[in-house]
Amino acid sequence: MSHLQKRTQFLSGRNGLVAAIALASTSLSLANVTVNQWTSATSFHHARIGVPDQDQKRVGLPNSGGCYCAPTSYVNMMIYITNYGYPQVQPGPGVYTGYEHYYDVTDLLEQLGAEASISPGGDDPDDPDCNGNNDSEGEGGGDGECGSLPCGGSVTNVHNAFVADGFYGTALDDLVFIAKSLDPNAPSTSFTNIGQLAIDGSIIELCYGRYAPVGQTTGGITIYKRGGGHCVTMNGIDREGGDMSISVRDPAQDDGDIFGPSPYVTKVWGITNLAVLTTSDDPEEGPIVNVSLKVLPAIDEPHDDGKKRLVDGYFAIKPKTGIFWKDFQFVQTLPLTIGFGVDPFPHPAPNWPILDLVSDEHGLGWFALTGGNEVTPPQLVKIDRIGGGTTVLDETNAKQLAISRFDEIYVLSETPGLVERRDSAGSFLGSANVTGVPRAIACDDQFDLIYVVVPGSSGFGGSIIGYPRSLGADGAAIKIWPIANSVQLGTAGAAKLRAAVNPKDGHLWISSETTDKALGFSLPFTPRGPVSPVESVGPFGALTGLDFDDGGTLHVVDTGAVKVFDKNSSGAWTPGDAGAFNGVDVGSMVRIAKSRSNFDPAIHDTTDWLNIDADEVDDLGEAVPDCIGDLNGDAAVTAADLAVLLGQWGGAGSADLDISGTVDAADLAILLGAWGNC
């Protein structure tokens, strides 16, 4: 039985039907998610409808779009988002299956491609041998061979161009973006991680690499190297025991007509978790030295050419959330915006007092410092919010922690002063001693610095230490900014501080429970002398914590309540609406979900990470044409789908087949017209 048949069998069974009907009737945010079921790490199912399938190959693009998989898959997500919750996002709401918006999408892709430096591939127009004179050595002033241009570019660059053009509108501050690509120095993204991202509400662009064997270890184990890749938009993922599959919209899958749209089709990949040795070393330039073991989702194994197609990157988008904990044993995720996500997943109940907590590397669960109890010592733990499990990473007396964009955890201990660096699996990577009593820690994604705040023993002055990612173990410089003695950060020996970086201007903000204002510091790149705050917000009655969102909005916790502040056009901080936090007692601290990317030009902006021309992309998976009216994904339009439509009557939802904003008689007519097997 194929992966497609097994998936259809599940969706047409009782569990799939119950899941589809239950989700259809719970909330508008779930309306386009027809299956969202998590039982365990070996049994989960997710399906979305309404995910577009735009073609990358089209007239009007350089090289007819052969290397435009990254921007096309990204625009698929934008069309989805604009139709499901955020109409201000370009290219705007509408039906994109036909010609009505076809050339609008072409124009958008052309603009994004140019601004994101998407290389078109194909013949190099500057090579004399590409002008029809390459039939002999040196003919036309060349070397006899027509050279080719690089193919494609990164999703990160496409996203940055979309943001720079203002195409998100006001939705930019309502969404969170997480981008991960294979990093030899960090644990890889697993099939389970991708499933949890989808079930937690993310719309996802996946990229896979084509890995070729380039050598062997002394023990005879094959080493693989990436040689280009391809990006798609995900619309489903399933696992039942050993049977795993991912459903995608592949922009290279079309009917061959570059002058118009092709029918929407879903490709269903069979997945195998594969342990492989990978390298970025070029065997033609010398021996292979740098090798790392990774476990990655492999597509449709095995392949006749001996190469592996490995899912090695994703770009996920979901509505913004906030996290808080109080009474030391209660954690809550609060949706801060409506949209295309899912309802908050039930949280596991912690078994110990929580001292500090940050979102994990995928924004799915948490790393937490616990205070221990009668039988359990203080620990660093990882809490799986979706699966419900908790992994103890180590025992520690640390008080605060932070996580970098490279998925590394920095754990701060006060006595003795110490900051430790660990990977996301908890493995120890290094440490640095801190002179004095450090009270707060924060990561700066722009400069990849880890700030540690050490107040003076009198409560006045002190220092801010800026550690490099390595904590200085590789010789990288450690920066120290002395704090002016006139600046009070607390009372002698009793200051409990929090620190956060404003991503808009890089200012480091510090709060203290024993002062009444949050203070913002502008730190010169090269320390020159004592620093004082350049801005502040307050006064507050009982200031216990602070954090920023991507847009630079300041969230402070005052007497258990979240208060929000934005900068106006003159640069002054003014109170804003706390939104979902209104009337909520959050305890002493709040964390706002942030966008993170581990994109490293030295790794991910190389020829290995370019794309494969659409004409050379592998025909992976089984093709499933769209079936209008099939609202539960069981490959038939039946009474189950009619029940979903009637349950959404008069509102928005997956049964809004004409995307008019309302489920009504027009949608009923479409469904009845498609009655029967797909």
Which residue's entry shows tokens 């918006």? 101
DSSP-based three-state secondary structure for 295 = strand
Say how far residue 426 (Cα) sits from the centre of its chain: 21
Q: What are phi and psi of 589, to 5 degrees?
A: -150, 155
Q: Which of 225-234, 243-252, 277-286 is the least confident region?
A: 277-286
What's residue 500's pLDDT?
Answer: 98
In tens, the pLDDT along 439-465 reads 999 999 999 999 999 999 898 999 999
Q: What are phi and psi of 570, to 5 degrees?
A: -90, 0
In tens, the pLDDT along 515-553 reads 899 999 999 999 999 999 999 999 999 999 999 999 999
Q: Over the chain, what is the mean pLDDT? A: 89
Q: What are phi and psi of 584, to 5 degrees?
A: -100, 125
Angstrom distance (rounded) from CA 307 to CA 19: 38
What's residue 631's pLDDT?
Answer: 84
- Tell me the torsion sign for CA atoms 534, 539, 544, 547: negative
Q: How far is CA 461 from CA 483, 490, 517, 678, in A?
A: 5, 10, 15, 71
Residue 25 has pLDDT above 70, yes or no: no
Residue 17 has pLDDT above 70, yes or no: no
| Sequence-ordered list of residues with C-beta below 8 angstroms from that of 143, at least 6 positions apart, any chain | 129, 137
What's residue 349's pLDDT?
Answer: 61
Over range 425-437, report the average pLDDT.
94
Which residue's entry shows tokens 């069979």? 270
Indicate yes or no: pTM above 0.75.
yes
What's residue 395's pLDDT?
Answer: 93
Give the chain's end-to-end CA distance (angstroms, integer). Answer: 19
> Which pLDDT band, with edges at 50, 70 and 90, does 139 fall under?
very low
Residue 475 has pLDDT above 90, yes or no: yes
> Which pLDDT band, with edges at 50, 70 and 90, does 20 fall under?
very low
> Which pLDDT band, with edges at 50, 70 and 90, does 138 fall under?
very low
Residue type, 64: S
Angstrom distance (rounded) from CA 246 to CA 263: 20
Residue 76 has pLDDT above 80, yes or no: yes
**Hey, where are the domains in the chain?**
32-118+153-317+603-626, 321-592
Instruction: Provide the total of helices (H) and of strands (E) in the chain, helices listed first.
Output: 9, 38
What's residue 353's pLDDT?
Answer: 84
For residue 614, give the nearest of 122, 137, 263 by alpha carbon.
122
| Sequence-ordered list of residues with C-beta below 8 angstroms from that of 146, at least 6 positions apart, any chain | 123, 124, 127, 129, 130, 134
Tell me which CATH code domain 321-592 carries: 2.130.10.10
Strand partners, 38: 44
In tens, the pLDDT along 307-338 reads 999 999 999 999 999 999 876 566 788 888 77
In tens, the pLDDT along 572-606 reads 999 999 989 998 999 999 999 999 999 998 899 89
Q: Which of 48-57, 143-152, 398-407 is the least confident region?
A: 143-152
Angstrom distance (rounded) from CA 612 to CA 211: 12
What's residue 542's pLDDT?
Answer: 92
Q: How far is CA 530 from CA 323, 460, 485, 536, 639, in A?
A: 34, 12, 8, 17, 72
Could you give the angle at which helices 102-115 and 69-83 cross, rounded to 10 degrees?
Answer: 130
Say how far residue 558 (Cα) sits from the centre of its chain: 31
Q: How far is CA 134 from CA 122, 123, 125, 544, 570, in A?
A: 15, 12, 13, 72, 62
For residue 258, give the nearest of 68, 122, 59, 100 by alpha carbon.
59
In tens, the pLDDT along 254-293 reads 988 999 999 999 999 999 999 999 999 999 999 999 999 9
Angstrom distance (rounded) from CA 457 to CA 498: 17
Strand partners, 296: 274
Residue type, 159: H
> Which pLDDT band, with edges at 50, 70 and 90, does 205 fall under?
very high
> Which pLDDT band, with edges at 50, 70 and 90, does 129 fall under?
confident
> What tokens appear for 654 in the block?
């997956």
DSSP one-letter code for 265: E
What's residue 128's pLDDT?
Answer: 84
What's residue 611's pLDDT?
Answer: 96
Beta strands in 174-300 (DSSP E): 175-181, 203-216, 222-240, 243-249, 265-279, 292-299
Q: Of 31-40, 118-127, 169-178, 329-338, where does the model show the most confidence?
A: 169-178
What's residue 678's pLDDT?
Answer: 81
Residue type, 281: D
> What tokens appear for 330 in the block?
């209660």
> Which pLDDT band, with edges at 50, 70 and 90, does 437 fall under?
very high
Residue 304 has pLDDT above 50, yes or no: yes
- Using DSSP bridges, classify how beta strands 460-468 and 479-488 pair: parallel, antiparallel or unpaired: antiparallel
Say how far residue 625 (Cα) sits from the centre of its chain: 28
CB 143 within 8 A of CB 124: no
Residue 508 has pLDDT above 90, yes or no: yes
More confident residue, 131 or 524: 524
> Which pLDDT band, with edges at 50, 70 and 90, does 141 fall under?
low
Residue 136 has pLDDT above 80, yes or no: no
Q: How far is CA 227 from CA 212, 214, 234, 300, 669, in A?
A: 7, 11, 22, 18, 49
Which residue's entry shows tokens 């994004």? 112
Q: How far is CA 127 from CA 64, 121, 250, in A?
A: 20, 13, 32
Q: How far is CA 426 from CA 29, 360, 363, 444, in A?
A: 35, 12, 17, 21
> Which pLDDT band, with edges at 50, 70 and 90, does 28 fall under?
very low
On the CB side of 227, how many CA atoms lie within 13 Å of its CA?
A: 13
CB 454 within 8 A of CB 412: no
Q: Which of 4-18, 173-187, 451-465 is the least confident region?
A: 4-18
Residue type, 57: K
Neighbour count for residue 205 (Cβ, 10 Å): 27
Angstrom distance (rounded) from CA 508 to CA 165: 28
Angstrom distance (rounded) from CA 78 to CA 169: 12
468 preceded by a cis bond (ω within 30 of 0): no
> What tokens appear for 114 in the block?
């140019």
Say how far residue 306 (Cα) sits from the centre of its chain: 31
Residue 209 has pLDDT above 80, yes or no: yes
> Which pLDDT band, with edges at 50, 70 and 90, does 27 fall under?
very low
Neighbour count for residue 84 (Cβ, 10 Å): 26
Angstrom distance (rounded) from CA 1 to CA 53: 26
